[in-house]
Structure 1
Amino acid sequence: MNYSIRGQQIEVTEALREYVEKKLSRLERYFEAPASDVSVTLSVTRDLHNVEVTIPMPGLLLRAEHRSKDMYASIDAVVDKLERQIRKHKTKVNRKFRQRDDSLNLLFREEPSVAHEEEDMLELVRTKRFTLKPMDVEEAILQMNMIGHSFFVFSNADTKEVNVVYRRDDGRYGLIEQG
């Protein structure tokens, strides 16, 4: 894997670089062909050490982020998150394409013992149906806060599209629009 490791408000020391590469190399065991480019951003904001990792692959983008008081703990946590993403995606691909030959299926090595555990984790336990009321983004944020959720699905009165507002980790809000 080619690692692109950069720092924002932090110097990337050789020890830090080696630690990142050692931890991320754990993920290579999941791939038939190693991912070509891995982008890692280390940053420090208000005493929180943030690690963002992006691994582009054919037909798939793996991305994880973690923030904590310790940079090494953040690196460990982000690698664990990526590992879970890979397992979940691999289980989904294996289940969906068992009978078909698919290029995504060839990205991952077989691990039969993990597949059954992951299938259990993907069980749908509840379905909700509701009518989307047209509203603007500000009203959607107010509705989300009133019901105490971290996201809210609504029909955007301006664009007539289905949108999602959500509360970000930094306390501000984000908007997801249809593409």
Structure 2
Amino acid sequence: MDIAIVGRHTKVSEDLRQKIFEKMEKIETLAPRATRADVHVVHERNPKHGNERERVEITVRGGRVVRAEASAEDRMIALDAAIQKLVEQLRKLHERKVHRHQGKTGLHSVPPAPEPAEGDERVASVEAWEGAPEGSHREIPIDGTPIVIRSKTHAAPPMTVADALDHMELVGHDFFLFHDADTGLASAVYRRRGWTYGVIHLEQSDAGVQAEEAERESA
């Protein structure tokens, strides 16, 4: 596996490079099909709070993309935390594959989970959204306000709910948008507490269909 190490707003010492190579050996064992890993070491300054932090971002490519990041005051601690996140994501993926192979109950046959109590859901962070697959993006200002919405579009093949969960775990997000291969609907899987997940399907209402038909007829 090729490993590319990049420093942003900082220099990466030879000692840190060697540590990265050593720790990535474990990732190679867990992800033998991986062909490349991009490791970014970022020095972050926060003048408002008068502190500085080190962030390590690791993206493993080859087949599926696996991504993890962590920040700490010490870059070695951040590296250890990012590696640990990668290991956990790869192990979860392996366990899910084993369960499927053994004929364990799939997501589609599981009864819907009860509605979560207030505060149960985990909201995805901006950092997680920035780690989404490559695609076109633009910023949309809201008239009369200082608010700007960042819009991002990327192409993706249809997939099953189980595959969408795998992708979500691998990139370390709390949600994942996808086209459901079984229903043909735009959908999203999201993480709840522990090992429970949720899935949302968007189905167009009759009013929306009628509006589209009327627009086509008038065109």
- CA distances 1:117-162 after superposition (whole Å, capped 9, x unpaired): xxxxxxx994328xxxxxxxxxxxxxxxxx79652xxxxxxxxxxx
Residue 28 of structure 1 aligns to a residue whose secondary structure is helix
Q: Aligned in 2, Cα 1:176/1:127: closer, same or farther, shift over 3 Å? A: farther
The Cα shift of 1:56 comes to 1.4
Which residue among 52, 56, 59 is the counterpart of 1:51?
A: 56
Q: Look up the match of 1:73.
A: 77
CA distance in 1, matches of 2:112, 2:55: 33
CA distance in 2, matches of 1:52, 1:148: 27
Which amino acid in structure 2 is aligned with residue 28 of structure 1?
Answer: E
The Cα shift of 1:26 comes to 1.6
Give the total of aligned pairs: 120
- CA distances 1:85-118 after superposition (whole Å, capped 9, x unpaired): 010000011111346xxxxxxxxxxxxxxxxxxx
Q: Following superposition of structure 1 onto structure 2, how do residues 1-179 of structure 1 map, counting pairs within 5 Å?
A: 1-31=1-31, 33-46=32-45, 47-58=52-63, 60-98=64-102, 126-128=113-115, 151=123, 166-168=124-126, 178=177
Residue 115 of structure 2 aligns to a residue whose secondary structure is coil
CA distance in 2, matches of 1:26, 1:79: 9
TM-score with structure 2 length normalisation? 0.47
**Residues 150 and 167, structure 1, Cα contact 8 Å, conserved in 2:** no
Contiguous gaps of at least 5 residues in structure 2: 46-51, 104-110, 128-148, 154-176, 179-219
**Residues 3 and 36, structure 2, Cα contact 8 Å, conserved in 1:** yes
**Residues 168 and 174, structure 1, Cα contact 8 Å, conserved in 2:** no
- CA distances 1:51-89 after superposition (whole Å, capped 9, x unpaired): 00001131x211000011000000001110000001000
**Residues 33 and 62, structure 2, Cα contact 8 Å, conserved in 1:** no
The Cα shift of 1:29 comes to 2.4
Residue 4 of structure 1 aligns to a residue whose secondary structure is strand
Residue 65 of structure 2 aligns to a residue whose secondary structure is strand
CA distance in 1, matches of 2:100, 2:112: 19
Larger radius of gyration: 2
Percent identity (aligned): 22
The Cα shift of 1:168 comes to 3.8
CA distance in 2, matches of 1:56, 1:127: 36
